[in-house]
Amino acid sequence: MKKSKLTIVLLIFISLLTGFPALGWPGAAMQNVSPGTGDGTARPLTSSPSKQNKVVMVIVDRMVLEDLIDPSLTGFHKIIQNGAISLMNCNTAGNNLLSENTYATIGAGSHIIATGTSAMGLNAKEEQDNGPAGLEYYRRTGRKVPPSAVVQLDITRFGQLNSELPYPAVPGALGDCLHEAGLKTAVLGNSDVTIGFRREVLSVAMDRYGMVDYGDVSASLLEKMDDRFPGGYSTNYARVLQEMDRLPGDTALTVIETGDLSRLEEFRNYVSDSVWAAERKRTMQRIDQFIGKALDRLDPDRDLLLIVTPTPGKGAGEENDYLSAILAVGAGVREGVLFSPTTKRQGILMNTDLAPTILGFLGLEKPEWMNGQILLYVKAENQLNKLVVMKKQLTLTYDARSIFQKGYCVYQIGLLLVSLYFILTHRKAARLLQPFLLSVMAVPLVYLLLAFLPQPSFPVLTLELFLLTAWITCLAWWFERRHNLGSFIFLSLATAGLLILDTAVGAPLQKTSIMSYDPIAGARFYGIGNEYMGVLMGSLIIGCTTLMSKFERYRKALLVMTGIIFLITVYVLVSPALGSKMGGAIVSVAALAVTFLLLCNVKFKLRTVIYLAVIIIGLVAVIPAIDLLRPAELQSHFGRNASLILSGGWQEIQNIIVRKTEMNLKLIRYTYWTRIFIASLVSLALLFYRPVGVMATIRKKRPDLYKGFVGVVTASIVALIFNDAGIVAAATTMIFGAPPIVYLVLQEQK
């Protein structure tokens, strides 16, 4: 009878799980997958296939978005009025945002590093101490190049620097794909200063052999005795335009380095603020005039102009920006913002999206191992001002995240330690800590609700955080005073319910939450992140089991309702349309199934464990298969990883495992969440032994809630093992594990 009971429960669980994806979900969930426009369409950057397309990329490194507000920059404003603009994440495989790495990442279409290589980009005919650069290139690579070529002498070092990356990456992949298709590339300009060459631009257009077909990156394009410009070197834009006009007609991709803002950035600490500000303004005006003239040389119905800032600058402030700017104008582009299928967010893209976009515009397929996606544009108005506001909000959240999260972790650890001390030594005084334990559980909900409040500055955000936390805690305490365990039900179900709803409609609250992911760190852009995945598991399990403990007379109805809610939660976490988080899928199935089976009074035997393992394995196999049926631009990380595995085989599986293991080990060593997880486990272990018999009392008085704690611990352990940032998810799960148990122990001692 027990076996048939277990079988029926599992069959219902599996059938509902597999049936939910077929039922679909409200269209609102797709708002960040297929962004809305006036007619609900996101359009690709394409040109007429009957004409020879050209792409010109003008690099304005170290420009900041706020520079474009200047009304005197008529060339930029013309592009904004007729083209698309976006913020860009500039992350690379290196720890710092160095121009060498950001340029090379754009050219590779994958995050790579190129430290120490910028000085080795030369014209093939450029004379060195040991002869022309082309000859030295032949000595190093065994490949001959024509005198018109531009070469990267350190191309072998590119390969060495990136040989240990735990994912496929090819330096020069963009140029390589163009050359394989018989298309030509060109580079013009440099960022040279008096103390050395700065030829990073070469790594954007070169192929895997470090060669560009045409161009000039030599000092002949410089004004070497500029009376006003710091350092004396500045770009001669008239000569750059002349060289642009001389490029052969078969040039498909031209990359032009303006260079002057980079030079200014390098001399920032050596000139007065007034001189630096004046020269920066003059430089932006000169670049603006150059871009206007370059745009006049292009066919708006055939060609595409990209204005790219590979590395963020400082602007008028002392701190670097985190996100840079990119503009696009020309064939297939109208006024609006750029949309990236990588980020699934309007106005924010990855630097790895540029190479696939250029290939797509020129009618070529991107390689599987380029992890970027082809950009789309979305019609919009007043986009510059909206992006400035968005950037300010994202920067504020990013800056506040580290401070608030560290403070929250220290507060939680300190509270657990103090609670344990008082439980063991001053039992009567310990009850005073109960509201503070509730405040720990309230914080994840508060972080979500902050999105509804204006956040003009860090002090205001700090005040809002404390006041809202105090208000939610008082509200929870009010529920507790009216109904025993009412605080658990309120905090847990409010948090879980808001998270499920938010994820189902595109996660607008999580995208600005201090506890969630952010586009500056760039680890995740959509769906539910590791922090809130753990919070969702913990809050949902404790909320549902507390409800069943509180209203035992309605246990059967609540059990059915709990099962349905668990299934909805699993679907929200596994659905490709909502972000498809693999770690969350495994954790949710394992933890929610264990909790539900415990609530059904199923005894766990070997057969039960095997059934659960089959469910998880089936889920891991079915979900990517469904995701692979969707267009590439709609696929989640899960689906794209599946594509890589299909093309790369076991080697790619190994790369993914290595990458995720390294990330976990790094986080375990450095994140504050590790301390939370350890403190929570130690607290639980200690309370099983002291005070004597208190846990047995809780188990006897509230058996369903006790089973919920078992489910929370299960979720935490599974998250630690199967998630790419498992320690984070494990620790946030325990927010609804250790504090509630400590709270109940305090309650039992009254």
d(CA 588, CA 609): 15
SS3 at position 85: strand
CB contact at 8 A, 736 and 620? no
Confidence class for position 609, pLDDT limits 50, 70, 90: confident
Query: CB within 8 A of 504, min separation 6: which ones?
Result: 25, 26, 28, 29, 572, 578
pTM beyond 0.95: the answer is no
What phi and psi, each to the nearest 5 degrees, are found at residue 618? -65, -40
Q: What's the pLDDT at 2?
A: 47
d(CA 115, CA 104): 10
**Quick one: 165 exposed, middle or buried, by C-beta within 10 A (0-12, 13-18, 19+)?**
middle
Q: For the residues 345-370, what does the mean pLDDT come to?
A: 93
Residue (of 500, 614, 509) closest to 568 by Cα position: 500
CB contact at 8 A, 705 and 546? yes
Q: How far is CA 342 from CA 56, 435, 525, 632, in A?
A: 23, 42, 8, 10
Query: CB within 8 A of 543, min separation 6: which ones?
Result: 488, 489, 491, 492, 493, 495, 496
Task: For 107-166, write each residue's pLDDT tens digit.
Answer: 999 999 999 999 999 999 999 889 999 999 999 999 999 999 999 999 999 999 999 888
Token duo for residue 420: 């344990």
Q: For residue 464, is pLDDT > 60?
A: yes
637-648 vs 582-599: helix axis angle to the nearest 10?
A: 110
Task: For 163-185, write each residue's pLDDT tens digit.
Answer: 988 888 999 999 999 999 999 99
Task: For 415-455, write each residue's pLDDT tens digit.
Answer: 999 998 888 887 666 678 899 999 999 999 999 999 999 99
Confidence class for position 16, pLDDT limits 50, 70, 90: very low
Q: What domains sit in the chain, N to C, each tagged with a CATH number?
A: 2-25+391-748 (no CATH), 46-323+330-374 (3.40.720.10)
Q: What's the pLDDT at 22?
A: 35
Q: What's the pLDDT at 560?
A: 95
d(CA 710, CA 707): 5
Q: What's the pLDDT at 392?
A: 92
Q: For the residues 20-34, what does the mean pLDDT come to?
A: 35
Mean pLDDT of the chain: 87
Q: For residue 572, is pLDDT > 60?
A: yes
Confidence class for position 474, pLDDT limits 50, 70, 90: very high
Query: CB within 8 A of 252, min separation 6: which ones?
Result: 52, 53, 54, 55, 178, 183, 184, 185, 362
**Quick one: 426 exposed, middle or buried, by C-beta within 10 A (0-12, 13-18, 19+)?**
exposed
